[in-house]
Amino acid sequence: MGALQWGGRFSAAPDRELLSFASSLSDDLVLARYDVQCSLGHVEALVGGGIVSKVEAQLLRRSLHLVLDEIASGAFEQLARSSSAEDVHGLIDERVRELAGPAGERLHAGRSRNDQVATTLLLYAHDRGLLFAEMAENIAAILTGRAADELEAETMLAGATHWQPAQPVLLAFVLAAWAEPFVRAAQRFAAVAESATASCPLGSGALSGSTLPLDRQAAAAALGFRAPSRNALDAVGNRDAILDLAHAGVRAAVDASRIAEELVLWTAPAFGYARLGDAASTGSSLMPQKRNPDPFELVRARAAKLTGLYAGALATMCGLATSYHRDLQETKAAAIAVVEEALGVLSAFARAWRSVSFDRDRMSERAELGFTVATDVADALIADGVTARTAHAAVGAAVARAEEEGRALGAADLARIAQDSGLRGVRAPLGARESIAAKRTAGSTAPAEVRKHLTALRARA
C-alpha cells in the first residue's frame, strides 16, 4: 500500500477492482499543476509554523518544481498511466517523496486531501475563469467586428420571431445582439475567477483545522488568496467556485448554441443567407454535393450535453451533509468535464466564424418579404390617434387582402386604411430601408442606434 496516502490501520491491501473503481486519477490529471501550486503554498505554511526546516523546505520546493517540469513535458502523464495512486494528489505526493527523500515525508503534515482538493479546485477555477473570460471577450470582439462591416455595407434582412418574418432589421443589429451574451459571459467568468481567490481552504485539515502551528496566512498569500478561509468545516466541502465556473461555461455554450442554430439554418439553400467555407465544412460519404455546417451543429449538440453534465454535478451535492464526502469526487469529475469541454466549444465556435460569409444581396432583397413593414403601418395609424387595437385590426385585414392577391402592401392599401379609419391619409414606410430608418427608440435597429451599440460593445468587450 506504499502508493496510497493511508493504510496504517489496515492489515490487508484493498481490493484492486474496488480501488480502481474509486480512483479519480484519469479525471484529475488536468489539476496536476494546480495541485503542485497548492503544495508549494503548503510548504510556506510548514516553514512559517516551524514544522520543516529551511533546508527541507528548499528540497520540497525543488522537488515540486521538478514535478512541474514533468507535467509540462508530458512525463508526468506517462507516469500516471502505470500508477496505482488513487488520484493526482496522491501521485504528486508519492513523486515528491521519491525526489526529496526523507524531506518528502513531511510534505503532507497538517494537511488532508480534503483541504488540498478544495484549494486545488479553487486555483483551477481561478485560472480557467480568466481563460474563459478572454475567450468570451474574443468572441464578442469577432461579432462586433463583423457587425461593423455589415453596418458599413447596410445589409438588411427580415428579422424573425417564431422563425416567421417579423420586421426589417440591419444584419449589424443581429450580430451586435449576438455579441451581447458573450460580454455578459466574460463578466460572469471574471467574477468566478475573482471569487475563487477570496479565501484559501489550505490548513483546514480534514474538517476542523490542525493542532500544528501552520502559517495559513503565508500559504494564502503565496497562492494569491486574499485570506485564509474562516471555517474549516465549510471550506472542505465548499464547491461553489467550480460549480459557478461550470454553470458559466454551460451558459456560454448555450449562447453559442442559439447562434449556431441560426447559422445552420442560414446556410441551408432555402435561406441562402450565409455560407460556411471549405475549412469549416464537411461533406457526405455518399452525396457528392453536400456541404455540411458540422462545427455549428456540434456546438449545438455539445451545449445540450454540457447542460446534462452540469445538472449531474449539481445534483450530486443535493444529499450531502456539510463536510467532505466521497461523492464530491463525482461532482469534481463532472464539473471539470463541463469546464474542459465548454472551452472546446467556445474555441471551435470562434474558429468556425473565420469561414462564415454572408450573401448581402439575398438578405437585403428578402427583408420586406412576409409583410415585415406591417407593424410600421400600424404605428403610423397610432401616431395619428387611432387606438392600438383598431390599428392592429385594420392593418391585419390589409395584409390578408394583399396575401390573397399575392402582392406586398402598397400605397393603395394605405389609402384604403386611411379611409376606413377616418383619416385624410397615412404616411408609413413601405420599404425595408425606410422602416429601419424610421425607428426612434434607443436600442433599436436604426443605423445611429446600432452605431452607438457597437461603440459600447468595443468599450466593454
For the beta carbon of residue 40, count every other beta carbon within 10 angstroms: 17
Report the DSSP beta bridge partners of residue 167. 159
Question: Can you point out the beta strands (E) in 329-438?
Answer: 356-358
For the beta carbon of residue 357, count every other beta carbon within 10 angstroms: 10
Closest CA to 237 of 311, 332, 160: 332
CA distances from 453 to 17, 101, 146, 253, 459 (A): 59, 62, 13, 23, 10
Catalytically annotated residue among 208, 284, 347, 357 = 284
Closest CA to 357 of 261, 450, 272: 272
Angle at 412 between CA 410 and CA 415, to 5 degrees: 115
Nearest-angstrom CA–CA distance, 216 and 221: 9
Nearest-angstrom CA–CA distance, 113 and 94: 13
Task: Specify whether the CB–CB gap between 98 and 59 falls below 8 A.
Answer: no
Nearest-angstrom CA–CA distance, 223 and 419: 77
For the beta carbon of residue 354, count every other beta carbon within 10 angstroms: 10
215: left (phi over 0), alpha (psi -120 to 50) or beta: beta
HEC profile of 190-208: HHHHHHHCCCECCCCCCCC
Nearest-angstrom CA–CA distance, 5 and 248: 34
Nearest-angstrom CA–CA distance, 445 and 436: 6
Angle at 346 between CA 186 and CA 38, to 5 degrees: 70
In one letter, which amino acid is 399? V
**Virtual CA dihedral for 218, 222, 223, 229, nearest 10 degrees?**
10
Catalytically annotated residue among 162, 247, 257, 285 = 162
**Catalytic-residue membership of 162:** yes
R_g (Cα) of the chain, nearest Å: 30
Question: Is residue 371 classed exposed, middle or buried when 0-12, 13-18 and 19+ CB atoms within 10 A define those classes?
Answer: buried
Active site residues per annotation? 162, 284
